Structure 1
């Protein structure tokens, strides 16, 4: 998972939790506020009802307009009742006609109570107030009740929730989009570092060139130092090994010259000098092997194959060989050009030495690996010869010129690139050598 996606998902999760908690808090506050306003409204209506009521001969008289038009409109949603201590209804508003209201709770004088009740799935909110009404002849214990259904209340809550969630979701969407844009802008330097590292990996540049914010500048500087140290260390190793081989080559040549001039010199000494000279040449070649590297350039394999075969045509101009080359023009290999030329040079040189009339070269991609096959129609190799031929100084035929280090050098280069080397019999009976890098 990318860093950008991790941050966006984390921030979005936090944002969802925050918005949910905010919505819950705002919804609760609005419901409580609306319910408080409803209570205040019912309280004012009940006090107005108390002020307008008159009792004459134990009968309650109310103004014809009943204080509020809703109380005179049947099923208006606002209802008023006056009951005695026994539960007998002394009076109810015209709006209660045809409406089944929840039973009234009789209260003692001075008591107030708010209730939520349901009748036939309809919810009601009531405010009851108990009072002792004193007349000239007696005292009546009465309970005044104002009741309202919650249709308007619930509708108001639903509309608020719809508006609230719509606004919060729109805000969340804008925040996520803004956050993604800010992250994209903020992480641009890291993406650019990734592009430069990819260019280094494919050999298009040697180090990180651009300047970056101070938070990652030390990181890019350390990468450049590591790349430079890798190049310097490899150069030191190659130079040291090359210097050692060169320093031995001259004394060996002098000794060999002296031995050649002395006919009485033991033949075994001459053989050992020849072997030492071959080892020096091998080590010189080994010193020049660069191996795989993160900063190696991409090479055109077909162009190098053509160049090497053109050179060998001139060397073996007396030999008539038909060349078959199967390689894509855009086939590339990420490595050192000298290594690839040395590898192909040894394989092609062996093929020219042993081929009768035909050499086939096949280069192709196998997944992320490069496969090189060199096939000739020569005498081929016996299975028991393969292991021997991969050793330094070993040759299949002593009559053929060479030092016997060609396949050993090939094996060394293949090892440097963590590759594989296969030697098998070709379909025509000759040798087929396949290298996978």
Structure 2
């Protein structure tokens, strides 16, 4: 289970990275900054180490030249150094700067340390026994006083004026504690990485700010799309940069064309309904005066055809209308208008229609004609089945707008409630109607993402709950 959850987390992170332009830009920029900082630090550190090492050995070579310049042998064959190197550290014991002169050729391996700097005190530098040509310089790393590693340079010179020709070759050695080279490098590395860290942090912060500012128009576009979706406007509004403006203009053009297509579909649906209903009416009238089986069969089929035409034309119109973005409708004016119409239609029954007000009721996220279609069908059914009273109450739950219609009629048994929601089903054939009104309301509510539910009314009859999406 733990492995599965880990795999799902990696998959989610990968999907989030692929789906977020902000994350991809930030990750790419931050990775590039990190790589650049690391490479720059490594290169600058390497260059500084090379510079310090070169300076270190250059200083040793300078002292080596001073030794070679002042080295002399008197007539008695005694080696002398009238002037020592000027660096005072050669005179301080174990200071980290040392020089030494060895005679080569007197005995096997040579005599070590016949002349030494005061800083060596009573110790002698042990150097590798390699062979050098006259004047050639070698570099080594050797242990020194206190077992500290020393960087050493050596040179072999021959004194032409030495009286003893067998002992005129000398090895000159100058060495220094490598800590003198490592300390500035370590200090430089600390300052370098601190500076590069501050630079990287500043670059990362500027990259984040730049990405956020660069993507701000997309966030404004997201807000504009939300306004269209919630019905606050029917097109994208706002100031957008030149790179995004063609997309906004194309999207607005699509919205305009979509609205025109919906309007044209409604017009064609109405024209088709009139074109089909007229011949059906003629056929129905032609057979109404006849009482034979053929006339009855034709009348039944004409009624079936009318139901099918009414249902499918209404459904096609409704399916087109719910795809129009930016639509929103105030519920109370539509409901008040329908209640006035119902009072006139059912005036002979003296029904009491009551609308219970609701404060701060949000708008319906859809078109007014569709809301009229749904509420009109449900109110008409309630008035047909009511005995004396129909109540309409409004409520808000989460993201839904609830419209509850109660009547005091006979109601519908729970076992029959689902059946009457189907297309063409009627609870009582004695009550006039096609059985399509409730089904059309159910389909239209589903197209908008809502629902229609039936329950027992507190008035004793049927309660119809119409749940619709509310506008922002």
TM bracket (short chain): 0.7 to 0.9
Structure 1 unaligned segments of length 5 or more: list them.
none
Find out whether 1:62 has 2:81 as its counterpart: yes
Corresponding residue to 2:126 among 93, 96, 103? 103
**Residue aligned with 1:244, SS:** helix
Q: Structure 1 residues 97 and 388 mapped into 2: Cα distance closer, same or farther (>3 Å)?
A: same
Runs of 4+ in 1 over 6 A off after TM superposition: none
Following superposition, the deviation at residue 90 of structure 1 comes to 0.8
Following superposition, the deviation at residue 302 of structure 1 comes to 5.6
2:436 matched residue in structure 1? 405
Q: How does 1:34-433 map to 2 (within 5 A)?
A: 34-56=52-74, 57-63=76-82, 66-85=85-104, 86-97=110-121, 103-109=126-132, 110=134, 111-118=136-143, 122-133=148-159, 135-140=162-167, 141-208=169-236, 215-253=243-281, 256=284, 262=289, 266=295, 269-270=298-299, 272-274=301-303, 276-279=305-308, 281-282=310-311, 285-286=314-315, 288-289=317-318, 290-293=320-323, 295-301=325-331, 304-305=334-335, 308-309=338-339, 312=342, 318-320=350-352, 329-355=360-386, 359=391, 361=393, 363-366=395-398, 368=399, 372-386=403-417, 388-425=419-456, 430-433=461-464
Q: Deviations over 1:71-93 (max 9, x none)?
A: 12233321111223435321211
Q: Deviations over 1:243-277 (max 9, x none)?
A: 011223344445555666x4767555555555555
Q: State whether residues 410 and 462 of structure 2, in contact with CA within 8 Å, keep that contact through their aligned partners in structure 1.
A: yes
CA–CA distance in structure 1, aligned partners of residues 239 and 41 of structure 2: 45
CA–CA distance in structure 1, aligned partners of residues 408 and 73 of structure 2: 130
CA–CA distance in structure 2, aligned partners of residues 139 and 71 of structure 1: 30
CA–CA distance in structure 1, aligned partners of residues 51 and 33 of structure 2: 26
CA–CA distance in structure 2, aligned partners of residues 44 and 364 of structure 1: 92
CA–CA distance in structure 2, aligned partners of residues 117 and 37 of structure 1: 19
Q: Structure 1 residues 430 and 63 mapped into 2: Cα distance closer, same or farther (>3 Å)?
A: farther
**Residue aligned with 1:329, SS:** coil
Following superposition, the deviation at residue 345 of structure 1 comes to 2.4
Q: Deviations over 1:138-172 (max 9, x none)?
A: 43243211111123322211232233223333333
Q: Structure 1 residues 236 and 321 mapped into 2: Cα distance closer, same or farther (>3 Å)?
A: closer
Structure 2 unaligned segments of length 5 or more: list them.
1-16, 105-109
Following superposition, the deviation at residue 223 of structure 1 comes to 2.5
CA–CA distance in structure 2, aligned partners of residues 352 and 96 of structure 1: 118
**Residue aligned with 2:232, SS:** coil
CA–CA distance in structure 1, aligned partners of residues 125 and 432 of structure 2: 118
Give the TM-score, by structure 2 length: 0.77
Q: Deviations over 1:343-378 (max 9, x none)?
A: 122223323433455646454335x55555545454
**Residue aligned with 1:397, SS:** coil
RCO comparison, higher one (Cα < 8 Å, 6+) = 2
CA–CA distance in structure 1, aligned partners of residues 116 and 463 of structure 2: 111
Give the TM-score, by structure 1 length: 0.83
Aligned residues: 433
In angstroms, what is the RMSD of aligned CA positions?
3.6
Q: Structure 1 residues 6 and 392 mapped into 2: Cα distance closer, same or farther (>3 Å)?
A: closer
CA–CA distance in structure 1, aligned partners of residues 95 and 340 of structure 2: 105
